[in-house]
Amino acid sequence: MTKNEISKTVLKRLPGYLAYLKTISTTNISATALAAALGMGEVQVRKDLAMVSDGGRPKTGYQRESLIDDIEQFLGYDNTTDAVLIGAGKLGQALCGYSGFEAYGLNILAAFDNNAPASHTQEGKPIYPMEELENFCKSNKVLMGIITVPAQHAQEVCNQLIACGIKAIWSFATSHLEVPEGILVQYENMATSLAVLSMHLQAQIKEKK
Amino acid sequence: MTKNEISKTVLKRLPGYLAYLKTISTTNISATALAAALGMGEVQVRKDLAMVSDGGRPKTGYQRESLIDDIEQFLGYDNTTDAVLIGAGKLGQALCGYSGFEAYGLNILAAFDNNAPASHTQEGKPIYPMEELENFCKSNKVLMGIITVPAQHAQEVCNQLIACGIKAIWSFATSHLEVPEGILVQYENMATSLAVLSMHLQAQIKEKK
């Protein structure tokens, strides 16, 4: 199975394994133990791990550190992906300053915003006007764009990014984006999480009554 | 069907409908048109909407504004949920200052952090030491907690929140959390989104070669 053939659902489970493996300190871990710790099915975990690593041994399981390396390599965390961010508001600036992304191979080169309060983020990343987006993306060969503008401007920004050669878009705006084939949009929809949480609380409050 | 019986997957689709409905300006919209605009199956959209609204009419469909009201009411956006946030780092402060949450009925009352650089966030939300968490949660009857501490401290913070009476946890930490029954954890795992985007870019680059 090549990387291209792996399903998106498997892909979405890999960062979870990785995060857990990094919090423990044992030398070896079996698929069974990993499944139990994460409350997942053993068969699923076994299959997922077999796709990214051939280090599993009967009885002892996987060497934890090798498994971490295999998953990180598979996810491309060892390659750095350069990105531009559009919308240097609070959320945009927070993302620019979030050091945690480096661990995932994401490097935000610059922010773009026509109404930015300053020419740099608090962490010193440059903020350029939108007119400079195309030149910047093309001369830096940037393929990933992060959208942190309000929903009503998101489609316009998305179109501009695609015109600049961007192939993958990470959108924090709540609106749906229309894109041509070959462009991937990944939504970070915080509203969805909030809906699930609120509903749980409403159900709990109702039970108490 | 009561709210308690609605599935989590349906619930997760509702904010998407809502976001789209707010970006358009037509008076009426049919389930068919909504499905087409969002690239979803018509049967699914029809079923989802029927669960939250009885305003659908043959031929004309739904009145857009009534449908927005029905979904918002269903999701509890008309009730405000108070929350506390633990970890007043960059991400935590950005969330405290994110005005977009008000539209979803989320109100972050205060942040808690023992190593905070100041006693207030940039937007004037108070930052208290962790010792005050229990008193604060109990006197304000807070049921939702937001975790924005590094992964290695997340479980400890999670346990403290539960001890303070928190029933729903929104975690931005990448680690898996162990919780007793009745407590819901919703993970906002940015690493997952990044994995999906990176993989798409790797596949695109490979195709070009």
Give pLDDT tens digits for B97-147: 776 677 778 899 999 999 887 898 877 899 999 999 999 999 999 999 999
- Choose between A151 and B21: higher pLDDT: B21
- CA atoms of B201 and A105, how far apart (whole Å): 13
The answer to whether A76 contacts chain B (CB < 8 Å) is yes
- CA atoms of A91 and B92, how far apart (whole Å): 11
Nearest CA to A18 among A59, A66, A58, A50? A66
> pTM of the prediction?
0.70
Return the pLDDT at B209. 66
Return the pLDDT at A173. 84
From the CA of A32, how many Å to the nearest CA of chain B? Answer: 16
Mean pLDDT is lowest, of A16-20, A95-99, A178-182, B33-37, for A95-99
The helix/strand/coil state of A85 is: strand
The answer to whether B165 contacts chain A (CB < 8 Å) is no
Tokens 């993958």 appear where? Answer: A168
Return the percentage of chain B with pLDDT > 90, whole number.
44
Report angle CA B106, B150, A91 to the nearest 5 degrees: 45
Nearest to B23 among A11, A105, A151 (CB): A151
The answer to whether A14 contacts chain B (CB < 8 Å) is yes
β partners of residue B120: B126
CB contact under 8 A, B167 and A200: yes
**Are B17 and B48 spatial neighbours (Cβ–Cβ below 8 Å)?**
yes
Report the residue of chain B nearest A166, measured CA to CA.
B201
Return the percentage of chain A with pLDDT > 90, whole number.
44
Return the pLDDT at B102. 76
Residue B3: pLDDT above 60? no
For residue range B34-56, what is the model confidence (pLDDT) as tens digits?
998 888 899 999 999 999 999 88
Tokens of B50: 């029927």
| H-helix or E-strand spanning residue A208 | helix A190-208
Return the pLDDT at A82. 92
The secondary structure of residue A119, as a DSSP letter, is S
Residue type at position A161: L
Tokens of A104: 């995932």
Mean pLDDT calculated for residue range B198-209: 76
Return the pLDDT at B59. 86
**Are B76 and A197 spatial neighbours (Cβ–Cβ below 8 Å)?**
no
Return the pLDDT at B5. 59
Which chain B residues are within 8 Å of A34, Cβ to Cβ?
none
Return the pLDDT at B96. 83
**Are A173 and A115 spatial neighbours (Cβ–Cβ below 8 Å)?**
no
Nearest to A192 among B15, B90, B201 (CB): B15
The answer to whether A170 contacts chain B (CB < 8 Å) is yes
- CA atoms of A94 and A140, how far apart (whole Å): 23
ipTM metric? 0.70
Report the residue of chain A nearest B23, measured CA to CA.
A152
Mean pLDDT calculated for residue range A96-112: 83
CB contact under 8 A, A23 and B175: yes
The answer to whether B130 contacts chain A (CB < 8 Å) is no
Mean pLDDT calculated for residue range A138-150: 93
Contacts within 8 Å (CB) and 24+ apart, B46-54: B48/B10, B48/B13, B48/B14, B48/B17, B49/B17, B51/B1, B51/B6, B51/B10, B52/B14
From the CA of B192, how many Å to the nearest CA of chain A? Answer: 5
Nearest CA to A184 among B202, B21, B42? B202
Mean pLDDT is lowest, of A1-15, A99-113, B53-67, for A1-15
Mean pLDDT calculated for residue range A127-134: 96
- Choose between B20 and A84: higher pLDDT: A84
